[in-house]
Structure 1
Amino acid sequence: MRLHQPQQQLLRPYIKQIHQFTVNPDGLSSMTAIPTGNVFLSLFWGSGAYTTLRPNSTELTASGGVYVSGQQFEIARHWVKEGEVNVIGLELTPNAIHQFFGVPQQETTGQVLPLEDICCNTATMLYRQVVNETNPVRQIHLVEEFLCRRMIAKKWQDNSSIAEAINLINLSRGSILVKDLAASLRISTRSLERRFLEAVGISPKAYSKIMQFNFAFRQLTLSKKHILDVITEAGYYDQPHFINHFRKVFGVSPGQFFDEYEKFLYSFKKDNDNITLDSMSGTLQAAGKLYVF
């Protein structure tokens, strides 16, 4: 798997990183995505079909194309049963779908949708260009050119207060109260919630919960802290509160999850003693599995 940063200056405020990899049963066989508050634009093509499963949803399988993934509250597992699928996945900032395509982002929340179904009749052309291009660097350049054209041609206005609200929530690790957030932005709570829902796809409170959980999960996964210390640091009321949230995200308890992944996580920590959470790319890869969080 290769990680890239956007080359176009215009896109850097909206693209966190670009993943480029191939999924097949004999190599990198699956990807597990933990909710991060970010959204995704993905292109995939090849001889196989991409399957997605979440704890409380039915299994979905799709052929190649360009797709957007809105805000998610649950873990998502992706894999290819047979054949091979090439993937370019752009991890975007929480409000990027609205910025690039001008749609109210709540229309994409909890869903993976073909881009052409949302608003963009040029998605098929982009897909054909990328599939017909054999140079991986050039493929990403084509995607960036497409998004730059969208930004230059857009007729909707940016809302700087939303970007600032996202930053304040991230800095607080999801612990800031909505009323305090609105006060910091000098707008009413009602205006903040309305603007946030349109631009991010969920309420500021729901986004804060995602950031709170993601911080706690990173601490449990990458540090050697005790679970009770992590729960307190992340701002949960008590252990049952955290366990209940964990079950909603993963469909299993923390104990069940870490029993399954203990060997992988132990190996990663042992080999990366000097790692710091702030420098994590958010991607771990081992034993043919990719983890994004």
Structure 2
Amino acid sequence: MKYFTIPPSDHLKDIVRYFWVLESAEPYVHYSMADVCPELIFHYHGRFDEIAADGSSVPSFTAGVHGQSSRIRRFTINGSFGILGVYLYPHAVSLLFNVPPVVLTNEMTDLNSLLKTAGDNLEEQVALAPGHPQRIQLIEAFITRRLLQQRQQQPPVFHAIQAIIESKGQITVKQLAQDYFLSERQFERQFRQFSGFSPKLFSRISRFQWTIAQYGNNFPSLTQLALESGYYDQSHFIHDFREFSGQHPRHYFSGNTDATRWRD
């Protein structure tokens, strides 16, 4: 299995966190965990099925948006595959698709439903492109065009969303509201509008995401990892980890799970 990331062009760094590619010649089960950031996803080779709670499966989209999520999902494919993902900041949803991010929270929406013919055209172009540089060039051109169509000024809360992600979810709502000259109520309303989550839940998931990104790093104990992640005690850490991943952190960080297969 091959996984790697590609940074966006400088003018898109406030919209796109990075591009990622996942490819394999073998069958695979993918675990999607809680994440504050939505992803624009293109399956340029192969198509996954989503596994429901009762064990049944339904075909996933071939191109679409996996919205910011507090839930766990599983996907499977029985053959080779290739996926290109565009890891976005939460506020990108309203800028690129003209819908409130909350509409896509915990949802997976195909590109045609969001963009109609333009979505179909972009999916076809990405699928037919000869390589990843050409695919990324097509997607960046699309994002740039969509941003140029925006006439509204980007509100300060966009920067607050980025600040929480970069701080591992450890900035308080009170501090952010003061930083952006808003009352806490105004800040919370705007934050939910452009992120799809309350600031509290957004911060919890951001902290969880920072924690799972430490996979492969050497921590002497779960307690030390919990402290580094900003948790006050190990029980709180285990509770959040189980809620957002479906697994005990000891199991996850052992590497003996399909959830980390793409990282190894």
* TM-score after normalising by structure 2: 0.85
CA distance in structure 2 between the partners assigned to 1:240 and 1:25 by the alignment: 37
Q: Note closer, same or farther for the CA distance 1:57–1:37 as it changes in structure 2 (3 Å cut).
A: farther
Report the CA distance between 1:34 and its aligned residue. 4.1
Change (3 A) 1:177 1:154: same
Distance 2:34 2:225 in 1: 18
SS of residue paired to 2:262:
strand
Partner of 2:124: 128
Offset of residue 252 of structure 1: 2.7
Preserved CA contact (<8 Å) 2:161 2:195: no
Hey, what does 2:100 align to over in structure 1? 104
**Secondary structure of the equivalent of 1:13?**
coil
Task: Indicate the larger mover: 228-237 or 107-116.
Answer: 228-237
Query: Residues 39 and 92 of structure 1 are in contact (CA less than 8 Å); yes or no, is this contact kept in structure 2?
Result: yes
CA distance in 2, matches of 1:110, 1:220: 24
Matched residue type, 1:290: W
Please report how far the alpha carbon of residue 19 of structure 1 lies from its aligned counterpart in structure 2 after TM superposition.
1.6
Structure 2 residues without counterparts, runs of 5 or longer: none
Q: Which stretches in structure 1 are left out of the alignment for 5+ residues?
A: 265-283
Kept in 2: contact 1:68–1:113 (CA 8 A): yes
Partner residue of 1:151? 147
User: Equivalent of 2:218, from 205, 214, 223?
Assistant: 223
Distance in 2 (alpha carbons) for counterparts of 1:44 and 1:263: 24
Q: Map 1:20-39 to 2 at 5 A.
A: 20-25=21-26, 29-39=28-38
Question: Which range moved further: 250-259 or 194-203?
Answer: 250-259
Q: How many pairs are equivalent?
A: 262
Kept in 1, the 8 Å contact 2:42–2:85? The answer is: yes
Distance 1:183 1:56, change over 3 A: farther
Provide closer, same or farther for how the CA distance between residues 219 and 144 of structure 1 changes in structure 2, counting only shifts above 3 A.
closer
Matched-pair contact (CA < 8 Å) for 1:33–1:291: no
CA drift at 1:56: 9.7
- Corresponding residue for residue 7 of structure 2: 5
SS at match of 2:49: strand
CA contact (8 A) 2:219 2:225 kept: no
The offset of 1:20, in angstroms, is 2.8
Alpha-carbon spacing, 1:58–1:107, altered in 2? closer, same or farther (3 Å): farther
Indicate the residue corresponding to 1:274 in structure 2.
Answer: none
Identity among equivalent pairs (%): 25
Instruction: Rate the CA distance shift 1:194–1:142 in 2: closer, same or farther, 3 A.
Output: same
* Structure 1 residue corresponding to 2:240, chosen from 231, 245, 252: 245
Contact residue 23 and residue 79 of structure 1 kept, 8 A: no
